[in-house]
Amino acid sequence: MSQSYPADVIPPVEAVDCTCSACSMALNCLCKNLDTGLKSRLENEVLRNRVVNRGQSLFEIGESFQRLYAVRSGSVKVYSLIDNGEEQVMGFYLPGELLGLEAIDRGVHECSAVALETSSICEVKFKKLEQLCVAQPILQQRLHRIYAREIARDYAMLQLLGRKSAEQRLANFLLHLSRRFADRGYSAEEFNLSMSRHDIGNYLGLALETVSRLLARFQDQELIEVKRRHVRLLKHQALAVLAGEPVNPVARRHYH
């Protein structure tokens, strides 16, 4: 599984300093820039580290909600089961992203989460985190921000599923992945998909064959190069056009 593809060049998880001080995952990292007292309380009482292999689950549907999970390396698939029993992929999570929020409302996980590759996961005890938040406005603000981001993410996804064609969805998916990799210091042009065509299709509301065909078409149009799970984006702009995004980097929609 671990070939020497670009996005895979991460230090082996055993070698990583697992305290939060060493966590570089910017915005989502709760501990960043906290005073040392608070930081060490967080690290000791709230956080815990864990390595999971491909296919192992972090939590399962129906499990009682205890923790949130932050991906430190690797990637995770979150899915729910719909009425007839089949999977519905709700999202893929990359390093620095937080999952498990869906369980807060009812106190029970509505989704399952499995590692798509060997991954390092930071677990956050939610109850304790909430307790700490009471006395720590800064922490509380960060938690708010995490909620808010998740809501914003969901809104974007609703637009995608509600109104866009298969082509737009896939172009969007690739660009979004690319940006997330770039934000994390990986290449924005070249990366590996840790998820199958089936998972991608499921996530985007498409048949896996449609995903495969569209990737082939994008390649014919010389927008990307794709071989199995390895992808290289050749023309971001053109993809953005396909995705239905505003392209002109100057005339971006401006709020206030």
Least Å distance, CB 59 to a second copy, is 12
Does 62 bind a second copy (CB under 8 A)? Our answer is yes
108 is a site residue for a second copy (CB under 8 A): yes
Q: Which does 36 bind (CB under 5 to 8 A by kind): DNA, a second copy, none?
A: none
Tell me which residues in 1-60 interact with a second copy (CB under 8 A). none
CB of 148 to a second copy, least distance (A): 4
92 has which bridge partners? 77
Task: State yes or no: residue 149 binds a second copy (CB under 8 A).
Answer: yes
Which strand (E) or helix (H) includes residue 39? helix 36-41
Q: Give the DSSP letter of residue 44.
A: I
- Compute the distance between CA of residue 69 and CA of residue 93 in angstroms, rounded to an integer: 10
Does 161 bind a second copy (CB under 8 A)? Our answer is: yes
Contact 223, 239 (CB under 8 A): yes
Q: Are 28 and 20 in contact (CB under 8 A)?
A: no
- Distance, in Å, from the CA atom of 251 to the CA atom of 122, rounded to the nearest integer, reads 40
Using rule CB under 8 A, residue 148 touches a second copy? yes
Q: Which residues contact 91 (CB under 8 A, 6 or more apart)?
A: 77, 78, 99, 153, 203
Phi, psi for residue 153 in degrees, rounded to 5: -60, -45
Residue among 144, 179, 216, 217 that touches a second copy (CB under 8 A): 144
| Residue 34 interacts with, from DNA, a second copy, none (CB under 5-8 Å by kind) | none
Q: Which residue ranges make up the site for a second copy (CB under 8 A)? A: 61-64, 80, 82-84, 88, 90, 101-102, 104-106, 108-111, 130, 133-134, 137, 140-141, 143-145, 147-152, 154-155, 157-159, 161-163, 202-205, 244-246, 254-256
